[in-house]
Structure 1
Amino acid sequence: MKTLSLGEPRLTLGLDRYRRVSHDAHRALHGTLPDLGTDDLITLAGMGGLRGRGGAGFPFARKLRAVQTAAARRQAGTRVVVNAAEGEPGSAKDAMLLTRAPHLVLDGAELAARALGAPQVVVGIADRGTRGSDADPVSESLREAVAERSAVSVVGFRVVRMPHRFVSGQSGALIQGVNGRIPLPPGTPVRASDTGVDGLPTLLSNAETYAQLALLASGGADAYAAVGTADQPGTVLLTVGGDTVVEAPAGTPLVHVLGVCGAPPAQAVLVGGYHGSWLDPPAVARARLSRSRMAEIGGTLGAGIVLPLAEGVCPLGESARVLRYLARESAGQCGPCVRGLPALADAFTALISGEGDPAAAAAAAGIGDGKGACAHPDGTAAFARSALRVFADDASRHALGGSCGRPVRGLLPMPGDRPEPRPRLSVDWSRCDGHGLCAELLPDLIRLDANGYPEDPDLPVPAFQEAEADRAVRMCPALALRVSSP
């Protein structure tokens, strides 16, 4: 994982010297924690204009006040949770912080816990296939950090592993998991500030937010606002291309970030992740790293995910691949997810094969509109609508000619650190007449034997070839092919 800083480093301070910033090195770089009460911390967060960095951008001061108010009303205790589950495949910023600068995150969380009187901080991380072991870098770094702080911290720390799934990063799913339930978003929205961990008022925010809080508390509001914009002081962390984490002042031009990262010319850039928006080149040229400036051009900063899409590939095919992934990753507990998301993926598949049209795909994107049990259908629909809008010319070419002439390469990141069941393409030998069309449509997947029949009657379908496999099934003259779900 590559880490860069544009301008004076803050969150990334010291990373040019240390592989991992120990507690002693952290205190030398950032100082010690101040002692702030709840009201003082709320005031500081408000003066610093601190908002959540997990996607929604909710004002942190209002979260603190909500937890304080709920605890006073119920005469109950409080809990503090760090959301570092990072279900988005294109995001790595929170994992980078916990791996290389963990004490910034833990400082911010402990600061909030002290102010609210919470006895413990819970850190939710993704289970990346090392269950029962601390071998992964995030777990190992957290283990070392907690040990390093044991002599000075007045609160405890607990690490909870979450399944590495897209919806596991949602706040409701994390609360469910911490409470020992299945880590899926609850069927009805519940505010963590009212009822969270152990049923108590809970302050929940993502890892970067707590790190930003630590910076704000150590330097003060004026120093914090020395960079950034009037409505978004400070810096932001971005994950560019899935493998480079960049810290940049809010308001920085997006093209500058892409240039520093060495990104090649792109036909479009996805901002905000797989619930985000595509930007065409003119919009990219105007984009600035702030919520308000992104909104002006139809984009979203979200969790700071930036994915340039290289030229020479089919953008709708790449988008269809993401939609198929999002359909598989749903919580499966409401109609818009269970029926709507697969139908939306099918509509895109039909469009890129020439058997559908943009209007049908747009209609399929009407699955959300607030009808789902969580935000997953709405976010997925927004991504699909963005693709139809930005790639409208490509959609027309597919609808008229069945192809835009460009391949699907699978360039957008998908989970690669855990084995996933794949759809399988199978041949019904009782029907197959050896036409050979399937090998023409899927030359990288199907090989014919000496008699002109497929050599292997059952094959896993790579993610980037799902659309082509569906097309081969529909075009087989003998109806001898089928794709089975994983």
Structure 2
Amino acid sequence: MSARTAVLPPVACFGEPRLTAGFDEFGSLDLAAHEEVHGPLEPLTINTLLRLAEEIRLTGRGGAGFPFARKLKAVLESARRQQLPPVVVVNATEGEPASRKDKALLTRAPHLILDGAALVAYALDADEIVIGVADDGVGEEPLAAALREREMPVETGIVTVPHRFISGEGGALVRGINGEAHIPPGVKKRASDSGVSGLPTLLSNAETFAQLALAARVGPAGYASVGTEKEPGTVLLTIGGAAGQPAVVECPTGTPLADVLQLCDAPAGPGVLVGGYHGKWITPEAAAEAEVSRAGLAKVGGTLGAGIILPLGPNTCPLGEVAQVVRYLAGESAGQCGPCRLGLPELARAADLVVTGATDADTVRNAAGVVKGRGACSHPDGTGRFATSAMEVFAADVVAHAKRDGCGRKVVGQLGLPAAAQEIKRRLAVDWSRCDGHGLCAHVVPEFIRLDGNGFPSFPPTPVPGWLERGAQKAVRMCPALALSLSDE
């Protein structure tokens, strides 16, 4: 089985398909099928493109939801001010393990993405288009095949990046394209001022470009014929978690979330994660009330984010699932600023302690509060949002773990983490007959080991996360009393 077949779920649609048009008939659309389904596309001037983006209220579909017209204006003004040619970057990396929507477009409708990129490059008089994809073997070959079938208005290349959560961050992608490490820059920078090769750069998500290509064909009125008034059109969602029939779903904005979950045989269970790993948890009651849109999900305390919807089933431990993802996110950080290097491991430690019943939800909230607004990118804030919303939705489970030695359910891994992230099997142990409370271990690996009120090492009775194993090994070697050991479960 190819990586492409193994990774991609089925695709479903509410109403008339747009982005997913032709999927049922052709499966994957080559150039001839694409033109048969979507029709011709004429270039647009920059003023026409700006009006179009504004009239359809197009926002980025990668998570932040930034207005696309504002990005266009910023790049245009920067290019004119600096008298430099801009670059167009398509972010199709989709580093979040639970997400599949961009991969569905890359493998089944790559020409729709290329159409959008070509429109923008022509309108901006750009010098180059760069498309970033993950090195997971899913999107690069279909995209390259599509490029071989057509002519683009400017030189267009594909850059592969490591399939990591943090690699999809905009600044990390620009650095990777520039030949640097695939991590966010240490300071916040605007790609519109200085991005690829130091040039003004328009960077947006793959679905955003595909939506633009659709809108250019049908016009503002046609585009707004479905969806809500303030958020017209359709969105792509990745439905996973405990869904009996996981799928990438295209639906008009305003569609009841409950209908989408029902389509995918996905009961709301104890809670639903909306927006992905940087999103928020909502209750089953909120999920029954919510509509699929940024405003509709915000109304019930959620967020649309990158369109990832992960309901939990009744047969897993919600807090254990949450702690597993927080550990993963801490390990995926760039580790170059304090909030990521120290704050996220502390947040992961707090989540682990809540699972063991050793502390309450305030420990998680406090740890998330320390990193809030302090990172060089949005990773600490997003991780904190994920963890703290879980403390609200699963409040009863927090009490059960504190008073009744757990909820009685195992962690079955429903949130789409890669298998390697779940295989943490090394545990740190203390031989108390040897430990003299020197405290050296807490200095060697402060992210995992703390000293209690008597100066003795204290750490959660959970496996040592992979990103801290090297530090734990060093602590074992340096322990003067030979009291520490690291062993397999």
TM-score by length of 1: 0.85
Name the Cα RMSD after superposition. 2.5
Cα distance in structure 2, aligned partners of 1:311 and 1:431: 42
Report the CA distance between 1:137 and its aligned residue: 3.7
Report the CA distance between 1:54 and its aligned residue: 0.5
Q: 1:262 aligns with which of 254, 261, 265?
A: 265
Which amino acid is the alignment partner of residue 81 of structure 1?
A: V
Q: Cα 1:430–1:66, aligned 2, differ >3 Å: closer, same or farther? A: closer
Report the CA distance between 1:31 and its aligned residue: 1.6
Aligned length, in residue pairs: 436
Report the CA distance between 1:60 and its aligned residue: 0.7
1:278 aligns with 2:281: yes
Q: In the alignment, what sits opposite 2:339?
A: 336
Q: 1:28-427 maps to which residues of 2 (within 5 A)?
A: 28-128=36-136, 136-150=137-151, 153-241=152-240, 243-416=246-419, 422-425=424-427
Contact between 1:341 and 1:367, CA under 8 Å: does it hold in 2?
no
Cα distance in structure 2, aligned partners of 1:82 and 1:424: 40
Q: Cα 1:64–1:319, aligned 2, differ >3 Å: closer, same or farther? A: same
Cα distance in structure 2, aligned partners of 1:427 and 1:293: 48
Q: Provide the secondary structure at the position in 2 that maps to 1:188.
A: coil
Report the CA distance between 1:174 and its aligned residue: 0.4
Contact between 1:173 and 1:186, CA under 8 Å: does it hold in 2?
yes
Runs of 4+ aligned structure 1 residues displaced above 3 Å come to: 418-423, 425-432, 460-464, 479-485
Cα distance in structure 2, aligned partners of 1:118 and 1:420: 43
Which amino acid is the alignment partner of residue 281 of structure 1?
A: P
Q: Cα 1:176–1:415, aligned 2, differ >3 Å: closer, same or farther? A: same
Q: Provide the secondary structure at the position in 2 that maps to 1:372.
A: coil
Please list the CA deviations of residues 11-61 of structure 1 after superposition, one character each: whole Å capped at 9, or x if unmatched.
000000112101111111112221211111001110111111011111111
Report the CA distance between 1:348 and its aligned residue: 1.4
Cα distance in structure 1, aligned partners of 2:81 and 2:288: 49
Report the CA distance between 1:337 and its aligned residue: 0.8
Cα distance in structure 1, aligned partners of 2:239 and 2:433: 48
Cα distance in structure 1, aligned partners of 2:465 and 2:262: 29
Contact between 2:269 and 2:314, CA under 8 Å: does it hold in 1?
yes
Q: 1:470-481 maps to which residues of 2 (within 5 A)?
A: none
Q: Provide the secondary structure at the position in 1 that maps to 2:117.
A: helix
Q: Provide the secondary structure at the position in 1 that maps to 2:287.
A: helix
Q: Cα 1:115–1:265, aligned 2, differ >3 Å: closer, same or farther? A: closer
Cα distance in structure 2, aligned partners of 1:420 and 1:270: 19
Contact between 1:367 and 1:381, CA under 8 Å: does it hold in 2?
no
Q: In the alignment, what sits opposite 2:440?
A: none
Q: In the alignment, what sits opposite 2:448?
A: none
Q: Provide the secondary structure at the position in 1 that maps to 2:351.
A: helix
Q: 2:21 aligns with which of 5, 13, 32?
A: 13
Cα distance in structure 1, aligned partners of 2:40 and 2:427: 59
Q: Provide the secondary structure at the position in 1 that maps to 2:25.
A: coil
Q: Cα 1:426–1:396, aligned 2, differ >3 Å: closer, same or farther? A: closer
Q: Cα 1:427–1:294, aligned 2, differ >3 Å: closer, same or farther? A: closer
Report the CA distance between 1:261 and its aligned residue: 1.0
Contact between 2:268 and 2:284, CA under 8 Å: does it hold in 1?
no
Structure 1 runs not aligned, ≥5 long: 129-135, 433-459, 471-478
Please list the CA deviations of residues 77-105 of structure 1 after superposition, one character each: whole Å capped at 9, or x if unmatched.
00000001111111111111010000000
Report the CA distance between 1:154 and its aligned residue: 2.2
Which amino acid is the alignment partner of residue 335 of structure 2?
A: G
Cα distance in structure 2, aligned partners of 1:180 and 1:158: 14
Contact between 1:79 and 1:203, CA under 8 Å: does it hold in 2?
yes
Q: Provide the secondary structure at the position in 2 that maps to 1:267.
A: coil
Q: In the alignment, what sits opposite 2:31?
A: 23
Q: In the alignment, what sits opposite 2:449?
A: none
Report the CA distance between 1:427 and its aligned residue: 7.8
Report the CA distance between 1:365 and its aligned residue: 1.7
Q: Provide the secondary structure at the position in 2 that maps to 1:220.
A: helix
Report the CA distance between 1:201 and its aligned residue: 0.7
Cα distance in structure 1, aligned partners of 2:171 and 2:425: 30
Report the CA distance between 1:421 and its aligned residue: 7.9
Q: Cα 1:393–1:426, aligned 2, differ >3 Å: closer, same or farther? A: closer
Q: Cα 1:420–1:407, aligned 2, differ >3 Å: closer, same or farther? A: closer
Please list the CA deviations of residues 200-220 of structure 1 after superposition, one character each: whole Å capped at 9, or x if unmatched.
111100000000000000110
Q: Cα 1:307–1:224, aligned 2, differ >3 Å: closer, same or farther? A: same
Cα distance in structure 1, aligned partners of 2:108 and 2:48: 29
Which amino acid is the alignment partner of residue 377 of structure 2?
A: C
Which amino acid is the alignment partner of residue 82 of structure 2?
A: R
Give the stretch that moved more between structures: 73-82 or 344-353.
344-353
Cα distance in structure 2, aligned partners of 1:268 and 1:430: 40
Structure 2 runs not aligned, ≥5 long: 1-8, 435-461, 473-482
Which amino acid is the alignment partner of residue 148 of structure 1?
A: E
Q: Cα 1:360–1:430, aligned 2, differ >3 Å: closer, same or farther? A: closer
Cα distance in structure 1, aligned partners of 2:172 and 2:38: 33
Cα distance in structure 2, aligned partners of 1:258 and 1:63: 33
Cα distance in structure 2, aligned partners of 1:23 and 1:47: 29
Please list the CA deviations of residues 129-170 of structure 1 after superposition, one character each: whole Å capped at 9, or x if unmatched.
xxxxxxx341110111001013xx322220000111111111
Which amino acid is the alignment partner of residue 84 of structure 1?
A: A
Report the CA distance between 1:480 and its aligned residue: 7.6
Q: Provide the secondary structure at the position in 1 that maps to 2:271.
A: strand
Q: Cα 1:483–1:205, aligned 2, differ >3 Å: closer, same or farther? A: farther
Contact between 1:314 and 1:407, CA under 8 Å: does it hold in 2?
yes
Which amino acid is the alignment partner of residue 43 of structure 1?
A: R
Contact between 2:53 and 2:68, CA under 8 Å: does it hold in 1?
yes
Which amino acid is the alignment partner of residue 85 of structure 2?
A: G
Q: In the alignment, what sits opposite 1:443?
A: none
TM-score by length of 2: 0.85
Cα distance in structure 2, aligned partners of 1:423 and 1:113: 49
